[in-house]
Structure 1
Amino acid sequence: MAHNRHHLLLLLLAVFAAAVSAHNITAILESDPNYSQFNSYLSQTKLADEINSRTTITVLAIPNSAFSSITQNHPLPVIKNLLSLLVLLDYFDPTKLHKITDGTTLTTTLYQTTGNAEGNIGSVNITDIRGGKVAFGSAVPGSKLASTYTKSVKQIPYNISVLEISAPIIAPGILTAPAPSSSLNITALLEKAGCKTFASLIVSNGVIKTFQSTADKGLTIFAPSDEAFKAKGVPDLSKLTNAEIVSLLQYHAAAKYLPVGSLKTSKDAISTLATNGAGKYDLTVSVAGDSVTLHTGVDSSRVADTVLDSTPLSIYTVDSVLLPTELFGKSPSPAPAPEPASAPSPTPASAPSPAEAPSPLPASPPAPAGDVPAGAPSDAPSAEAERSGTSPKSASVRVEASFAVLTFTVAALCAVVFPTVFMS
């Protein structure tokens, strides 16, 4: 019975892990060819990554017949803005649509998170109108409710909901094509975001030209704040060669468009503009909730804020200067445990001859558990190692304790869900 319960717990853990795993908007839509254009542009604009990285979201899908005029007449940055207005940062299923308090509500969209939306242009008005219909429009006062809910596509309560609407939501000015990325004043954007030191360095060292020439093809900049350059441990740039300073600055940018959603779903190392045959100069990413952290191998830095997200250019501020291992070495690794002290070999003068060598002594019985005889080898865990939690024994205790807590929690859950199984 205990063996069966153990297998049941493992099965429930697997089911639970699958239940909380990320959804895939591309997979949801690809089964219906009526959404092929909509689905394709979600991938091209990287919005699919953003949708997949969030746990509470509603996607307003548009069929090809209503979407083709948009794709034919507007460039990719405009299409992305339009699509961003169709991704609601809340969960709405058909039931909730028809039970809106007071019949109308405003909800925030992904467009509001790009840094391009002013006022409430990044919000959508949802109104339950007469005849059982639900209408959608821009939240900007005076905007028409020109789109209506037509049907449900897919719901995973309360994770993701996909609803079909009749037409795109057009906010004032959203169809205006943004300026090309290469013509944007990157230094002005950085200075306004509190990154004046970084902006000055990329100008004085000529790196701004590299940024500008790369921007139209895809560029992501991780700009350290002014406070980051004042932090303890930041190297003295005056002691670096010009080539090393250029590599350090180029290390803060990647030659690809990486909105927040793409960073959150990134599993591979990110190559930077400093990457060359002599070194990787790459970054890795970890995610905790909505927090994104970049790791260099020497230090790490949180992505603090989005300065600009406009396909194909994204600019972020980071809390720390990113230090590549190629210039500043790896993080110091823990010192290895000392080798057991070996007895000195007898000198030839004092070594006994074979005839005088004493008979070998019988082996000593093993010491009782818990007793450490004096002169024990130094590879035994020290008291300091036990206190710091670095010894194998303490690590084992932590693992066993963690597993015990996890097992108890799941067992308690299972006892509630399947009482008859656990009472048998």
Structure 2
Amino acid sequence: MAINVTRILTNYPEFGTFSDVINKTGINELTKNRQTITVLAVDNDSMGSISGRAQDELKRILMTHIVLDYHDTLKIQRLGKRSITLTNLYQTTGVAQYGQGFLNMTKMSPGNVVFGSAVQDAPLVAKLLGSVLAQPFNISVLRVSTPIVPPGIGKAVLAPPPPPGLPPPAPSPKKAGVPSPANFKHKSAPAPAPGDKAADSPTSGSWSAGPGIGLAAVIELRMK
């Protein structure tokens, strides 16, 4: 069965811009001879972050959004908390460098899955927002939050900031530790009265009485 991405996305006007670029850049023709793909679709508002770029650059960017394997939300849910590498359509061009033809999909938690370029040190910028369409095991369309621009193809698009008005995250509680010696104030012992002399310890040098024990009591205890 030939896969026609633009025809599939016709029923989803929120991805009209994404579908239009797929069609104009010829990516749609490259997918028709494939039997299994996963499309990481970006909605119209998020596509605005890469609008105005050269058509060749847009083609290379969106080719990285075509994964050459089947992944739907059910399959992703079965993954453990780990990262996997996905091969994308750009890898088939023969010009992909330094991992541009691969994506990193990381499952942070059951409801938090993120994507990014597999190029070293590239950020995970696109969050999985849900499933648009699933036809096992031919085509899956997943909605992601942000276009993925691999380093070396164009200027990166960072993940959008959190909505305004949200309170900043609470600071992490500090672990209780051993107080620093600098936090202690030295308290010197009272000077002995004239004529008094501390008795020598029978075991180890000097011996000092604890609070509330007078010198006479110390001598009495020593004599016993």
**Bin for the TM-score computed over the shorter chain:** 0.5 to 0.7
Cα distance in structure 2, aligned partners of 1:124 and 1:99: 19
Cα distance in structure 1, aligned partners of 2:54 and 2:120: 27
Identify the residue that residue 150 of structure 2 maps to in structure 1: 171
Cα distance in structure 1, aligned partners of 2:99 and 2:76: 21
Please show how residues 88-237 of structure 1 align to structure 2 within 5 Å. 88-100=67-79, 103-130=82-109, 132-175=111-154
Match of 2:6 among 23, 26, 33: 26
Cα deviation for residue 80 of structure 1 reads: 0.4
Matching of residue 71 in structure 1 with residue 47 in structure 2 = no
What code does the residue aligned with 2:49 have?
S
Cα distance in structure 2, aligned partners of 1:109 and 1:122: 5
Cα deviation for residue 102 of structure 1 reads: 5.4
Cα deviation for residue 130 of structure 1 reads: 2.4
TM-score by length of 1: 0.35
Cα distance in structure 2, aligned partners of 1:175 and 1:93: 28
What code does the residue aligned with 1:71 have?
S
SS at match of 1:141: coil
Matching of residue 43 in structure 1 with residue 17 in structure 2 = no
Cα distance in structure 1, aligned partners of 2:79 and 2:96: 25
Matching of residue 52 in structure 1 with residue 58 in structure 2 = no
Cα distance in structure 2, aligned partners of 1:117 and 1:174: 9
CA contact (8 A) 1:98 1:134 kept: no
Q: Deviations over 1:99-144 (max 9, x none)?
A: 2355210011011111221132210000111251110001112111
5+ long unaligned stretches in structure 2 = 156-224
Cα deviation for residue 152 of structure 1 reads: 0.7
Cα distance in structure 1, aligned partners of 2:108 and 2:90: 25
Q: Deviations over 1:220-267 (max 9, x none)?
A: xxxxxxxxxxxxxxxxxxxxxxxxxxxxxxxxxxxxxxxxxxxxxxxx
Match of 1:81 among 60, 65, 69: 60
Identify the residue that residue 285 of structure 1 maps to in structure 2: none
What code does the residue aligned with 1:105 have?
I
Cα deviation for residue 49 of structure 1 reads: 1.2
Structure that is richer in helix per residue: 1
Q: Deviations over 1:16-71 (max 9, x none)?
A: xxxxx323211210111111110011111111111222001101000000002212
What code does the residue aligned with 1:124 have?
L
CA contact (8 A) 2:91 2:101 kept: yes
Give aligned-pair identity as a percent. Answer: 37
What code does the residue aligned with 1:57 have?
I
Identify the residue that residue 179 of structure 1 maps to in structure 2: none
Cα distance in structure 1, aligned partners of 2:81 and 2:127: 18
What code does the residue aligned with 1:31 have?
N
Cα distance in structure 1, aligned partners of 2:139 and 2:12: 17
The 3 A distance-change label for structure 1 pair 102 and 69 is closer
CA contact (8 A) 2:81 2:108 kept: no
Cα deviation for residue 156 of structure 1 reads: 1.1
Q: Deviations over 1:62-99 (max 9, x none)?
A: 00000022122x10000001101100011000011222
What code does the residue aligned with 1:135 have?
V
TM-score by length of 2: 0.66
- The structure number with the bigger radius of gyration is 2
Identify the residue that residue 310 of structure 1 maps to in structure 2: none
The 3 A distance-change label for structure 1 pair 173 and 119 is closer
CA contact (8 A) 2:80 2:107 kept: no
Cα distance in structure 1, aligned partners of 2:144 and 2:106: 13
Cα distance in structure 1, aligned partners of 2:48 and 2:115: 19
SS at match of 2:106: strand
Please show how residues 188-337 of structure 1 align to structure 2 within 5 Å. none
Cα distance in structure 2, aligned partners of 1:154 and 1:124: 20
SS at match of 1:121: coil
CA contact (8 A) 2:116 2:148 kept: yes
Cα distance in structure 2, aligned partners of 1:143 and 1:84: 17
